Amino acid sequence: MVQSALASGQGHFSTMHLQTKVGEIMKREQIEGVAEKAAGKAQSAVGRLLGDSQLEAEGAGHQAAGQVTKTYGDALDTVSAFVKEKPVAALAIGAALALVVSRLLRR
């Protein structure tokens, strides 16, 4: 069962989150990905029922795009959790990446 984090007094008005029954907060990208994937499945099913291969293919495309968006949201969530748990390590990694990028751009 999913309940709105805003309705329960959690979260901010500027960011969309949903709280699942296990207490995890879903980021906006994760929600959008799940919604687009579900819409794509429905579109594919309608295309199959109507015998419209183009509609079915568009639905498959929406499913794939939804999966990519959800995976992006999952990655953001993982990085965010890492930064909250280990801020010094995250800062060191960021500095090392900045150094590598600056060296590569000098060439």
Give the residue from 66, 39, 43 showing the smallest Cα distance to 53.
43
pLDDT digits (tens, 9 = 90+) for 1-43: 333 443 444 444 344 455 554 446 678 889 999 999 999 999 9
pLDDT of residue 19: 55
Q: What is the residue extent of each domain of the chain?
A: 28-106
Task: List the beta bridge partners of residue 25.
Answer: 19
Residue 35 near residue 66, CB atoms below 8 Å: yes
* Percentages (nearest 5) of helix, strand, coil residues in the chain: 70, 5, 25
pLDDT digits (tens, 9 = 90+) for 47-92: 999 999 999 999 999 999 999 999 999 999 999 899 999 999 999 9
pLDDT of residue 28: 87
What's the CA gap between 63 and 37, in Å, rounded?
Answer: 4
Say which residue, 106 or 21, is predicted with more confidence: 106
How long, in residues, is the chain?
107
pLDDT of residue 18: 55
